[in-house]
Amino acid sequence: MKLKQIFATLGIVVTLSGAGATVTPVVTAQAKSYVVIAPRYGKKSHHSRHCRGLNAAKSTKRVSWKWAKHHNRPLCHWCYR
């Protein structure tokens, strides 16, 4: 009986976090070893090349998170808000 309740609670938690899946927390960004940048467009580093901030960018490049930090490319506010 109790186990069932726990699973029910877990289900709610998964549903809630699933709803926020498009908003990636900064913690994940730092755990991830790379970010996506657009060398000719903008100066932000993105979580994904499918970010809306990269819509207008013709080409994207994957660089390490450390590289982005070192080259002063702040995290995109769409990806990491």
Contacts with Zn ion by CB under 5 A lie at: 46, 51, 53, 76, 78-79
DSSP states of 15-65 as a string?
Answer: HHHHHTTTS--HHHHHHSSEEEE-TTS-S-EES-TT-GGGTT-S--EEEEH
Shortest Å, Cβ 75 to Zn ion:
8
Residue 69's Cβ-side half-sphere holds a number of Cα atoms within 13 Å equal to 7
CB of 9 or CB of 50, closer to Zn ion: 50
Closer by beta carbon to Zn ion, 46 or else 73: 46
Identify which of residues 15 and 55 has a Cβ nearer to Zn ion in the complex: 55
- For the chain, state the CA radius of gyration: 17
Minimum distance, C-beta of residue 70 to Zn ion, in the bound complex (Å): 19
- Closest approach of Cβ 19 to Zn ion, in Å? 20
